[in-house]
Amino acid sequence: MKRRDFIKFGTAGLTSAAAGSVGLLSWIPRAYAATISKTYYITDGYTAMPDGVDVYFKGFSSSSSTLNVPGASTIVQEGDTVQITVVNTLSSSHSLVIDGLPDSGTIAAGQTKTVTFTAGNPGTHMFYDKLNAPYNRLVGLHGAFAVMPSGSSNELYAGSATFVQQYAWVTNDIDPVWHDDVRRGRTPSSTFNPYYFTINGRTMRVPGHAEYGDPNIDSGYNPETRLEGSIGDRALVRILNAGMCMHSVHFHANHVEWLAENGQPRPQVWKKDTVLLPNSMGSLDVIYPYEIPPDSWPQVTTGSFPMHFHDEMTQTAGGGLYQFGLATTIKFK
């Protein structure tokens, strides 16, 4: 097993796989409301960055012996009763909030709390820890929460453009000094200096690297980040920014249909190849159409194309390891 497949836990002395189910979302509509239950364990530990540096994280995890950053995505239907149980395994207080939906309030060290609410506000939301803001969120206590319109399997909101598959991408900017301050119980006092940039907790690898093509590590090959479809398919991409920096999201081969920003439907659906992602819990909802790239000659129907951010710092790791940053692949089958 590769070193980066595992997390070293600072409090429990355990090791466990880091990946949770985050990106590729499956959904079957129902003619009725259901009760959806989810449990998250607040845990902490270390994970290795692409340059080999171990960085401290906290996460909404799938068990008390794992560390998942971001927390596994949840998708529900408008009108569902949602029960989210949070088990705080740490010695500090935390919370779980979805703006406009539930707020757990303070969950003390060692405490378990369940919040119950009716799902509304179809669209894309972030769940996060609002305590010690923004530091708890930045060190990993965040994830994606999606609400489907009642009875719909292929709309972001009632009447939106339609899709056939959907993904959740959660991006983050990582300053290891700030992360270590949080570990020590201190409020960061230095200027925010992000050294690593992740999409669903992963980064790219380049051809020839030992971890290139490993779906557990390489965001270009992980099925939760990698867009993959055939001509005629359409993918909804729910993009959430847990970090501090604004970003320019650039899709190759085709323009995306820009449906919503910060949870609000746009009055007009624009087709853009580059879209600005707001910082500090900003969000975008776009549809990527698998169409013959209009500028290709001769025309192509299969192949691989990049999605990367246009702000150059996001394409590095450790301040200079180029092409080991925030990017993924768009695959035409």
- Model confidence pLDDT, tens digit, residues 141-168: 999 999 999 999 999 999 999 999 999 9
- pLDDT (tens digit, 9 = 90+) per residue, 2-22? 333 333 333 333 333 333 466
Express each pLDDT in 27-58 by its tens digit.
999 999 999 999 999 999 999 999 999 999 99
Cβ–Cβ < 8 Å for 65, 102: no
∠ CA(328), CA(240), CA(150), 5° rounding?
110
What is the token pair recorded at 220?
């270009």
10 Å Cβ neighbour count for 140? 33
pLDDT category at 112 given cuts 50, 70, 90 is: very high
CB 197 within 8 A of CB 173: yes
Question: Phi and psi of 76, rounded to 5°?
Answer: -135, 175
Classified as helix, coil or strand, 304 is strand
Instruction: Tell me the mean pLDDT in the region 96-118.
Output: 97
How far apart CA 114 and CA 226 sit, in angstroms, is 33
Query: What confidence score (pLDDT) does residue 4 get?
Result: 33
Instruction: Give 105-170 as a DSSP string.
Output: --B-TT-EEEEEEE--S-EEEEEE--TTTTHHHHTT-EEEEEEEPTT-SSBSSTT--B-SEEEEEE
Helix (H, G, I), strand (E, B) or coil at 97: strand
Nearest-angstrom CA–CA distance, 14 and 23:
26
Residue 233 CA to residue 148 CA, distance in Å, equals 19
